[in-house]
Structure 1
Amino acid sequence: MTNTLRLDSRSDGCRNFFWLVPAYNQYKDNRGNAISPNFCCFFAIETMLRRVELPDPDSRADLPTQSDVVIYDGNCNFCIGQVRNLRRLDIGGKRLSFLSLHDDRVTQRYPELSYDDLMAQMYVIDGSGTAHGGSEAVKYLTRRLPILWPAMPFLHLPGTAGLWRWLYNQVAKRRYKLAGKKACDSDGCSIHL
């Protein structure tokens, strides 16, 4: 008996099922017809990239008071994509909630964080109110989300903090070049240019 992996793609309400049969190295659709591996990989990626709703700290009563708040650049497509990935990695969805730095609640709740600080890096505010920024936020999340625990030893190697900080800052500086800016519906975005 061979192990099979079912990749599920949903678009417009219909389902397409694909199987990967490792013993024969063939990809098959739901009718048993062979299809190209690239076609199958496209549907696997599309499934992973489905739109994920981000829990708001105020709108969900099921979030515990100790959930961490991730503050990110809501006008940055790259940042939005990474935050959606974090949401998927938060199994059960109760450890993290999310706020865009452009939300007025951020300045009300976290006055110690300046707009320039927030534009420079992502922040995670833990349940005790401690702010973790940039690469330190990423390191904190590897301890907080069990699915990221395998990455924890690499990010916490002694003497590598400067390297991780530098890498994070390089990506953060180029985030708009990587994926662009979110299109604005109002003049609100023109204020932050």
Structure 2
Amino acid sequence: MSQTPLQTVASPSGGPFPAPGAAAADLTILYDGGCPLCLREVRFLRRRDGEHGRLAFVDVAAVDYDPSSHGEISYRDAMERIHGLTGSGEVVRDVEVFRRAYALVGLGWLYAPSRWPLLRGIADGLYRLWALWRLRLTGRPSLDQLCCEREGRCSL
């Protein structure tokens, strides 16, 4: 399995779950390795996590991304919005991924206000807008075009 320099997985098989006897990451974040802002966030979180192994990262844009190894989250779904997989296999999405990731690296206080009832709705709504416009704002093709290219059914 080829890996980008930022990709980290919790098991040699590339899945978010460990081999017997190995420790699982508390949260595996599925990220878009073609998104400049996503890469900055991944680099930051990796630095904060250091050698603790609380976080693992999987680049869904990698040609060998396999949904069956990552909670059956398809390429399209993973590209539409951020997903995370907990060590127990729970799938979390959207701002909740950031809440948990930041808590795991000791910065939970930054996202704590986004749990408050009034701010939760605002934070979640702003993230949905970002997710909707992310590709366009970062100068990337549409999600349909990316999926078409990935599936090899587009004429170039």
Partners of 2:80 and 2:39 in 1: how far apart?
A: 15
CA RMSD across the alignment: 3.2
Q: Please, what TM-score do these two structures have when normalized by structure 2?
A: 0.69
Partner AA of 2:68 in structure 1 = Q
Alpha-carbon displacement from aligned partner over 1:126-180 (angstroms, at most 9, x marks no partner): 111011111111122233221x122143121123222111111222223234444
Partner AA of 1:144 in structure 2 = L
* Structure 2: gaps (5+ residues): 141-146
* Structure 1: gaps (5+ residues): 1-51, 182-187
What secondary structure is seen at the aligned counterpart in 1 of 2:117? Answer: coil
Relative to structure 1, the CA distance from residue 145 to residue 106 in structure 2 (aligned partners, 3 Å threshold; closer, same or farther) is: farther
Relative to structure 1, the CA distance from residue 153 to residue 107 in structure 2 (aligned partners, 3 Å threshold; closer, same or farther) is: closer
Alpha-carbon displacement from aligned partner over 1:95-119 (angstroms, at most 9, x marks no partner): 1111111344431213532333211
Deviation of the 1:121 alpha carbon: 1.0
How many equivalent residue pairs?
136
Q: 1:95 aligns with which of 54, 62, 70?
A: 54
**Higher relative CO (CA 8 A, sep ≥ 6), structure 1 or 2?**
2
Between stretches 159-168 and 123-132, larger displacement belongs to 159-168
Q: 2:101 aligns with which of 137, 141, 154?
A: 141
**Where in structure 1 do 4 or more consecutive aligned residues deviate above 6 Å?**
none
The equivalent residue for 2:126 is 167
Relative to structure 1, the CA distance from residue 105 to residue 177 in structure 2 (aligned partners, 3 Å threshold; closer, same or farther) is: closer
- Residue 95 of structure 2 contacts residue 124 of structure 2 at CA under 8 Å; is this kept in 1? yes
Bigger share in strand: 1
The equivalent residue for 1:116 is 76
Partners of 1:115 and 1:53 in 2: how far apart?
A: 18
Deviation of the 1:68 alpha carbon: 1.9
What secondary structure is seen at the aligned counterpart in 2 of 1:55? Answer: coil
Q: Is 1:85 aligned to residue 38 of structure 2?
A: no
Partners of 2:44 and 2:137 in 1: how far apart?
A: 16
